[in-house]
Amino acid sequence: MILDIAKKTIDEEINALNRLKDSLDENFEKAVNLILNCKGKVVITGIGKSGIVGKKISSTFSSTGTPSFFLHPAEAIHGDLGMVEKEDLILAISNSGETPELIAIIPILKRWGNRIISITNKKDSTLAKYSDVVLYLNVDKEACPLNLAPTSTSTATLVLGDALAVALLTLRGFKEEDFARFHPGGSLGKKLMKVEHIMRKDLPLSYTDTPLREAIIEMSEKGLGAVLIVDKNNNLVGIITDGDLRRFINKGGSIDNSLTGDAMTKNPKVAEKHWYVLQALELMERYNITVLPVVENSKPIGIVHIHDILKSGAI
């Protein structure tokens, strides 16, 4: 019985979303264009469940390239209207379109010249009449068996907000790099971190004709367990890691009587600075290596150690 209730609730909300999808028209396009052309911020306002959903929509807007903040209508009439500037656009949310606290501030904002988009389930409501664009939810009943608790309407509002945000970020050409820039402390942002953000730039370098002992000293001083080998034009031609050195000695190689080129691994695996850190990690795991040179036009510009990736928080 409990599972039946859950499934019926979900079915009711899916039905509400299908009704919402079927009701989308040119007003959605008008709303998106109004927001795209807004030179200020998108001020989202609502109270109760509409306010809670409005806060989420505002957060999604801000994190995907549309500056936004939430304005509580009850606080607005006691001074917070001062947060709203002339070029801001208002997105007002009310199921009934008659929420008293909201209706108290909308006429004021209208007189100030702010454009108003509303999300409501009543096309002929007071809020709708004050709005430049009305986004109609078209929900016929709540999932609540009493048809009282905001369930289907709040879900439809949330999804409509997501649809606006996705349309906006797509039209703005919002990219993964932008998302990472707005989420520097979050796990999603860290997954989009670039190699250039964590690579070491103080490089351990040596030449092919340098005595191997000198290359080992360079490796030890830089503390990365590797030294990059370059030619006279500073192009990367090889690498010597701790493992390379052990294998060279096991095969009878001499540290005192050899050149760097004798012990190096030629044409090592490399990364580029614009790679995501996780791309570099995948390459390192695939070939079981702990150090990865970063090159630009065949020249080394950085080096990434597996410890750098672990410290970055990307995994």
Same domain, 136 and 231: no
Q: 59-113 pLDDT, tens per residue?
A: 999 988 899 999 999 999 888 999 999 999 999 999 999 999 999 999 999 999 9
Confidence of residue 315 (pLDDT cuts 50, 70, 90): low
Same domain, 166 and 268: no
Same domain, 135 and 225: no
Same domain, 147 and 259: no
Q: Is residue 221 part of a domain?
A: yes
* Whether the predicted pLDDT of 196 surpasses 80: yes
Q: Is residue 184 part of a domain?
A: no
CATH number at residue 227: 3.10.580.10
Q: Which residue has the higher pLDDT, 121 or 222?
A: 121
Same domain, 51 and 170: yes
Q: Is residue 186 part of a domain?
A: no
Q: Is residue 183 part of a domain?
A: no
Same domain, 107 and 226: no
Q: Is residue 128 part of a domain?
A: yes
* Whether the predicted pLDDT of 289 surpasses 80: yes
Same domain, 217 and 266: yes
Beta bridge pairs of residue 136: 120
Query: What pLDDT, on a 0 to 100 scale, did the predictor assign at position 183?
Result: 57
Same domain, 32 and 137: yes
Last residue of a domain, one of 174, 209, 225: 174
For all residues of the chain together, what is the average pLDDT? 91
Last residue of a domain, one of 142, 174, 206: 174
| Domain coverage including residue 234 | 195-312
Same domain, 56 and 160: yes
Same domain, 218 and 158: no
Same domain, 24 and 159: yes
Give a three-class secondary structure readout of the chain: CHHHHHHHHHHHHHHHHHHHHHHCCHHHHHHHHHHHCCCCCEEEECCCHHHHHHHHHHHHHHHCCCCEEEECHHHHCCCHHHHCCCCCEEEEECCCCCCHHHHHHHHHHHHHCCCEEEEECCCCCHHHHHCCEEEECCCCCCCCCCCCCCCHHHHHHHHHHHHHHHHHHHHHCCCHHHHHHHCCCCHHHHHCCEHHHCCECCCCEEECCCEHHHHHHHHHHHCCCEEEEECCCCCEEEEEEHHHHHHHHHCCCCCCCCEHHHHCEECCCCECCCCEHHHHHHHHHHCCCCEEEEEECCEEEEEEEHHHHHHHCCC
What average pLDDT does range 134-159 have in this prediction?
A: 93
Q: Is residue 113 part of a domain?
A: yes
Query: What pLDDT, on a 0 to 100 scale, did the predictor assign at position 32?
Result: 97
Q: Is residue 189 part of a domain?
A: no
Same domain, 168 and 203: no
CATH number at residue 137: 3.40.50.10490
Q: Is residue 146 part of a domain?
A: yes
Query: What pLDDT, on a 0 to 100 scale, did the predictor assign at position 79?
Result: 87
Give the number of domains in the chain: 2
Put simply, whether the predicted model's pTM sits higher than 0.75 gets the answer: no
